[in-house]
Every structure is written in structure tokens, then in C-alpha cells.
Amino acid sequence: MPRPKSILWVDDEVESLTSHILFLEEQGFAVETTAHGDDALVLLQRQPYGVVLLDEQMPGRRGLDLFQAIRSIDHGMPVVMVTKSEEPETLKDAIGAEISDYLIKPVNPRQILSVVTRLLDGDRIRQQRLSRDFATRFRELEARRGSHLAWREWVEVVVELAEWEVRLGQADEPGLQDALRTLQDSMRQDFARYLQRNYASWLHEGESDRPPLSVDIGAEFLRPVLDMHGRAMLVVVDCLRLDQWAMIRPLISARFDIETAHYFSILPTATPFARNAIFSGLFPAEIKARYPRWWHDNEDASLNAHEAELLTEHMRELTGRQVPIHYEKVFTAADGEGLLKRLPAHLAQDGVTALVFNFIDQLTHGRTENSTLFEVARDTPALRNLTRTWFERSPLWDALREAERRGVPVLLTTDHGSIHCHTPATVFAKRDTTSNLRYKFGEDLRAQDPESALVVDDLASFGLPSRTPGTRLLLATGDRFFVYPTKLREYQARYRGAFLHGGVSPEEVLLPIALLTPRHG
């Protein structure tokens, strides 16, 4: 509820404030004055005010003492200290007490107006500006629907949409959020068609102007840092979306200079494929050909059991020498505690310290099976906020601060994102079809609605290992998840509203990769 457009001015020299009071009243504010702190408390108990202007040096109670009494009456009351005192300690005391603002006399009426307007109308003014800015950009982005965007343009559009998603979510603008979701839905279909046209050519035609892919992380991003500094920390946060990155970035920027680039995950956007590609610099078909013992056709956690070895080989091929690799994977709190004990020794040595954090992936999967997790991460804004809350107390943040203290640069990225799925898409399949909800391998696979899936008949064209004859791949588009006609109601009840990955939405494919350079250390 907005605060009233009224001011209580507490000052023992109130007779000298006549011109200020008249000016504020001309601007539509009701102003009441008192020369004594105790009288001010009585007035505050009788009626609400929008803001209190408070002198520090008055007979009887100091302004700061009165401030505590005011907050006990109305904890949210904005209080502005207006005082002659230029003592640094007074300013520090006011800041420490969380005074809303601090002005040193003499002040002119417009200074007072500026501060009061910011405190009483700032949120409304900011929301009006946000609405105008979004309306302008919405029309411009809407005009790009259906156009043939190049990959850099896709990066610009998708990153901007993610930033708008965060800003509108924080501003609690449901109408604008609905408009944004409509735009995102249409962009997802355009993006799926874009990948259908271009993805295979990126892999096989030697196209010079293709986007960075998962396989390029080592060569394009990690090796230059290693060559320059001799050591680097590579952090892979499993299943981190662009909007989640936007939530934790401000915290990181307090300690690091951040240079953010973006890359495209390989397909399917699932950990066995995408994360192995990051650590090896190879597409899945190449991994299977080179390391057949490390690859099989079951997409389970064991496919990621050799990431340390893959990274060791990848760095040796890139640099022509044996690069020390210190690899840690964090699933549990105990894993995090153990990592933080070993991390100083890792960072003291040359080479690459590679860390994988699985919490966000566990959260997105776990909320489907756990009603408590579902409640605390009910929708996309809740998932973003939970990501930030976790990060603030996480071993990841502790690890980043340790790297900052030691002056070790960090490359932070993810293997894939996720999408909030609401739309079931019926598929027809044989028994040997894989169980994933956003991608499926199987013989004679087909989707009831052709628009619901990107179909890959030639697995090799997507850099994927061959399977039994007739096997094809379906990749879900938009916010769809695959269901069987015989289990339609069961799957809808269980998975509608789940955060899933493996498909071809921008949220899953387009990912941040950030170079964090310590400011100290």
C-alpha cells in the first residue's frame, strides 16, 4: 500500500523552514511540523505520515535516539536526517542505523523535494519507466519475429529477453510478464526452425562464422586464460539458465570484474552430451570413437564418470604439454566441505582447477518428485530467487571468494539450461525408446504434431554416435514434454510445470560463459 503524501518535519528551528514548507505544499505535500521529539512520537501514534524529516541536534533526545523510537512505531517509516552536523561520526552512525537519507544544512527546497519524491514515489516512477521502456522494446522485438536472425542476433535477443524476465519479475508486473511470455513462445518456435536449418552445417561444413559450441570452451575460452596466467579455475554449474546467471551476477561483481560471453550447447541439451563435450572438446560420436570404454547408449550418470580424464587429454592436445588438472564434483554438503578444505592447495598450483556444482540440476529435477521443493520453486521467478538464496550460502560462492583472495581467474559457465514445461506432446514409439522427456532416441519414433519436435534421422549429422538401424532422435520444441498416448494423464499430472532440459529452446541452448578477474588478491 502506498504511503500518504505527507511529511512530518521535526526540528527545533522550525520557524526558519517556512519557505521550504510552502514550496513542498505547492508540490502537493501536506507538511506538519514540531519542535520536540516527544511531540513527534505522539503525532506518529495518531496518524500515518509518508516520511519524517528529522534534525539530529535538538534539545532533549538526539535525532538518532528519536529515530529508533520512530521505527518502533512504524518499522517501514522513511526517515531523512536533516542536520547542521558535518561530523563524520554522525554520518557513520546514521548510515549504520539505516537512515533513509542524510542531508546537511543549509538545504534548498528542491533538495528536500528530490529526496522525498524518491522515497515516496520512487517505486511508482521506476515502474512507469520500466513499463514505457518495455513497451518500446516489445514492439521492436515483436517486429523481429519470423525474420532470419544470425547467431549473434539470436544471442542479443535471447539475452535481452532473459534480462527483461528478471526485471519484470522483480517489479511484479504481471501484465507485462504475460506479454513477454507470449513473445518468448513465438521466439522459441523461430529458434527451433533456426537450429533445424543450421545446426548440422555448423558441425560438418566448416562454416567460419558459426557460434561457439560446447566443444569450443577449452580452446576459445579456457586456454587463453591458462596461457596468460598459468592457472585458472573452471566452474561448471549444471543447468544454469541465463536468468539465473543474472540473479547471481551482481553478487559476484562485488569481487570480480566480469566479462560475459555466450555460447550454444550441443544437442541434446543434456549433461551426458553437453558436459562431456565441454571437458573433452569432442562431439559425442568422437568421444565414443576415441574412448569406446567410456561411452555407451544409456544416458545415465556413468557417462560423466571420466570428465577429469577427458579434460586432461583435451588440455594436453591444446597446449602440447601435460597440464595439471584438479577436478572436483560437488553433489552434497559434505562434498562442498571437502572441496573447500582441498581448494587452497589446488589453487596454489599451476594448471586447471575444474569444479562441477550439481545443486541447481538436482533442484530442477527434485522439485518434480518432492512436494516441498515444488512449493518453494513453484515457477520461474521462484526458481530464480531460490538460486540466489542458495548461491549466497553455497560452497560455490566460498570457492569463488577463495579464488579471488589468491588472485586466480575464474571461467564460470554451465552445460545446459532448462525450460518450464507446460505443454504435453504425444509421441509414438517402440519399447526400446529412451525415457527422457525433452529428447528421445528410438526406432520408428514420430510426434503426433510435427511442430512439437525437431526430427533427426541422421544422428551422425548432429555429431552423435550411431545406434541400431532405424534409430532417430526427437528434440522437443517450445515448452513441450513428450508423453505416450497410453500414459497421457499420468505424465500430464506428474510433469506439467516441471523444469526440464534436453530440447531446443533458447533457455536450454543459449548459455553464459563469464571470465571473472579478481579485483584483489
Q: Write out the DSSP string of 275-313.
A: HHHHHHSS-HHHHHHH-GGG--SS-SGGGGTTHHHHHHH
As a whole number of angstroms, the distance between CA 57 and CA 71 comes to 19
> Are 129 and 114 within one domain?
no
Give 213's DSSP letter: B
Q: Are residues 226 and 367 in the same domain?
A: yes
Q: Are 140 and 28 part of one and the same domain?
A: no
Distance from chain centroid for Cα 481:
23
- DSSP string for residues in 19-33: HHHHHHHHTT-EEEE
CATH (domain of 90): 3.40.50.2300
pLDDT the model gives residue 300: 62
Residue 86 within any structural domain of the chain: yes
Whether 1 maps to a domain, the answer reads no
Residues of the chain with pLDDT under 70: 1, 60, 206-207, 299-301, 521
SS3 state at 60: coil
Considering the domain architecture, whether residues 248 and 144 belong to the same structural domain is answered as: no
- With H, G, I as helix, E, B as strand and everything else as coil, classify residue 411: strand
**Residue 132: C-alpha distances to residues 78, 142, 183, 437 (Å):** 27, 15, 17, 39
308 and 250 in a common domain: yes
Say how far apart CA 340 and CA 332 lie, in whole Å.
13
In a domain, 376, yes or no: yes
Residue 202 lies in a domain: no
Cα separation of the two ends of the chain = 46
366 and 432 inside one domain: no
For the chain, helix, strand, coil in percent to 5 are 50, 20, 30
Which pLDDT belongs to residue 364?
86
* One domain for residues 308 and 289: yes
- Report the C-alpha gap between 483 and 493 in whole angstroms: 11
Of 120, 138, 170, the one marking the end of a domain is: 120
Written as nine digits, the cell of 95 is: 548510515
Inside any domain, residue 74: yes
Which residue has 542476433 as its cell numbers? 153
DSSP-based three-state secondary structure for 442: strand
* Cβ 232 vs Cβ 378: under 8 Å: no
Question: Are residue 327 and residue 439 in the same domain, yes or no?
Answer: no
How many residues in total does the chain contain? 521
User: Does residue 248 belong to any structural domain of this protein?
Assistant: yes
Calculate Rg over the CA atoms of the chain. Answer: 28
What pLDDT does residue 304 have? 86
Structure confidence at residue 115 (pLDDT): 94
Based on the domain organization, do 334 and 229 belong to the same domain?
Answer: yes
- In 3D, which of 325, 324, 333 has the Cα closest to residue 354? 325
Q: What is the CATH number of the domain that holds 275?
A: 3.40.720
CA distance 231 to 233: 7
- Order of all β-strands in the sheet with 101-104: 30-34, 6-10, 51-54, 79-83, 101-104
Residue 424 Cα distances to 420, 421, 462, 490, angstroms: 12, 8, 25, 11
Residues 411 and 431 reside in one and the same domain = no
Q: How many beta carbons lie within 10 A of that of residue 224, not counting itself?
A: 13
Query: Which residue among 132, 165, 197 closes a domain?
Result: 197
- Domain of 30, in residue numbers: 6-120
Boundary (domain end) residue, out of 100, 120, 140: 120
Burial of 382 (0-12, 13-18, 19+ CB in 10 A): middle
Helices (runs of H) and strands (runs of E) counted in the chain: 19, 19
Cis previous bond, 48, omega within 30: no
Domain assignment present for 502: yes
Q: Is 3 exposed, middle or buried (0-12, 13-18, 19+ CB in 10 A)?
A: middle
Long-range contacts from 118-127, C-beta under 8 angstroms, 24+ separation: 119/50, 119/51, 119/78, 119/80, 120/2, 120/3, 120/5, 120/50, 120/51, 120/78, 124/2, 126/171, 127/171, 127/173
What percentage of the chain has pLDDT greater than the value 70?
98
DSSP 376-387: HT-SHHHHHHHH
| Domain assignment of residue 310, yes or no | yes
CB atoms within 10 A of CB 514: 19
In degrees and rounded to multiples of 5, residue 310 shows phi and psi of -65, -40
The reply to whether 372 and 236 lie within a common domain is yes
Kindly provide the residue ranges of all beta strands, DSSP E only, lying in 202-255, ordered along the sequence.
231-237
* CB neighbour class for 331 (10 Å; exposed up to 12, middle 13-18, buried from 19): middle
The total domain count for the chain is 4
Q: Are residues 348 and 369 in the same domain?
A: yes
